[in-house]
Structure 1
Amino acid sequence: MHSATCQSSPGSGRSQPVAWTRYTPVAILLLAAVLVAGCGAPTATPPPTAAPTPRPTAPPTPTPEPTLPYAPGESPLTGLPLDPEAARYPPLALLIPSDADSYGLSQASLVYEAVTEGNVPRYLAIFEQLDASQVGPIRSARPYHIEWACPYGALLVHWGGSPPVFPMLARSDCLANLEAMTWEGGYFWRTTNEPVPWNNLFTSSELLYGYLENWEITRFLSYRGFPHKEDASPESRPVSATIEVTFDYPVRYAYEAEQNEYLRFYQGRPQIDRLTGAQLRVKNLAILFAPQRPIPGDQQGRIQIETTGQGKALFCLDGRCTEGTWSRAGPEEEFRFLDTGGQELRFNRGNIWIEVLAVDQEVSYTVIPAR
């Protein structure tokens, strides 16, 4: 969705006037004499010109390839194999409510969870590859969702947005846009079995990739992603661990040592992907603390979240949580996560969930170490 306009200033197209010189008869005779003398004089042979000594040319310095934290054929976000066909397309960035049963969320490479209004959060789910007959529900976007999706050159899939969203999308050259209010009935459908009407809009991988095909949208941005490491050895993993975050409802992550993953619970119950019937599992959890404040005069109670700059963070993987920092150079840049020594954090290979909390929001976690 890049665009450029070039302007050039053409010339007037007019022919320039030709200047004529008027000669007198005397001048013509003198000119003839000069021509005759020139024809009769011998032509001097110029001395040979010595060829310049060639100088050795240094070979051009090759431009080093950028060092990427992932290998070819791997997902930059998860470090897992990425289907070559899916890699032709931009990632899919879907807005999904957290207070409703979700479909397909377990396939997301990266999930952001952050408050929209009323202390109720929403997911921005980034799918690098998706195979789902039903995914959603689809909800509206906020400005910070656009900022977080932008570095991945994603197709933003949403149903409307807060007032600043549409001007941001109109100016953006880092996102493709699929807005459900425009395309409902073409790339989305509604169900009748959801408890509330604002959580009944769905789509599918077939429809989303069909949209990209119809509009000839292929991947147009590359992104760095995150560095990865191997899982901690089984003998070093703790017996169990729990992490609890409270929004309008409690969220809990329970560590499972055998799979080295966290099981997600919502309002005290296992959170299920309705597409598969399985509980949501999280390989890596990053908790970011960022300034949040109400938008002045907003009647809906919407908030601003500032995630440009840097702040404190908590990283939970391998059954343990460690402190660190997050940083982001600008609103279109990827996040960088650093440990307490200033080194870039290396995630386990697998999905990543990012909780974006207020700076004074509490998180509790307990760890029962290995015996």
Structure 2
Amino acid sequence: MKIQRLGAMASLALVGSIALAGCGSDNNTGDPAASGDTTASASANADCFDGTLNAEGSSAQKNAFEEVGSLFSAECTGATVNYNPSGSGAGIKQFIGGQVDFAGSDSALKTVEKDGKVEATEAATYCGSPAWNIPLVTGPIAVAYNVKGVDKLTLTPAVAGDIFSGKITTWNDPKIAAVNSGVTLPSTAIKVFFRSDESGTTENFTKYLKAAAPANWAGEPAKTWDGKGEGKAKSAGVAEGVKSTDGGITYVEWSYAKDNDLGVAAIDNGAGPVELTSETVGKAVATAKQTGTGNDLALKLDYATKEPGAYPINLVTYEIVCSKGKDAEKQKNIKAFLKFFASEEAQKAIEEIGYAPLPAEVQTKVEAAIEAIS
């Protein structure tokens, strides 16, 4: 049995969101380790409860949430965890508005004013306590492409910046050829796809372009795209757009690139091409600096890193929670689910579907923060 099947079953249970409740394995006999079923080992970490949690936000973590929620509900049959992958911006708004129990966001709550508001202040007002950013999902951003006859591709920040800003328009452009010696590149037109909704993935990808190629990318990092291309809704939309278009390219979470059998470019930040793997992502995320204080684990990634073997285009999805909640029972249930999400077994399960497990340095802090939720 593949773990992914559990998530697929769960996603059918609630239209417009992912309802994760009571989905068990279709293989209830034999040795779990021998059959490849990780449910038994993962369930040992579950603090079960009877009740419902509702969360919303990042579509980048949709597949990870689906996977972990299925494992959790296979053990805790009285628990329902609903997740609506509406996008990071929508999730934060719903959390601040008191419509969901916690939010998923690919960027930490803003601590500076924007449009007359400060997200962190608004969240704290709603909670009656500081809201914490707890990183639980490391989602590498793949520069995913579909170019007939091109099975291997390397991009530099400068070339990527020129492609996504519309300065390079064909795949055989000399700038692309210069960093892909020996690769036969066709004259096919480049078709850029971008996220049309407010997206933490967009914000993190534009942070990368701005940090690593400021001369080639003039835009400022933001959840809304200001480059060239055709907009598609959510991660699934851009991945499907590239899959159906010869010459297509996008920025999307690795798991979506894998699901759609898309090519993934190696990135050369200056220390040689680096393939996207769990190991190269972990090497980059382990160097992140904590910008939050105490158990607020907001991180700053170094997108311009030239560390050999470190894949630089990453995002971290935070679960945004009240540090102290108005409903003690609800907080206890949130704590139980997040504790399971942070477990070694759950992190291993999401690695198998295209995410990277939390580096040990980060995981230790995450576990301490979750334990402090009250």
TM-score range, shorter chain: under 0.3
Structure with the greater relative contact order (CA < 8 A, sep ≥ 6): 1 or 2? 2
**Normalised by the size of structure 2, how large is the TM-score?**
0.23
**Normalised by the size of structure 1, how large is the TM-score?**
0.23
| Higher share in helix | 2
- Which structure has the larger Rg over C-alpha atoms? 1
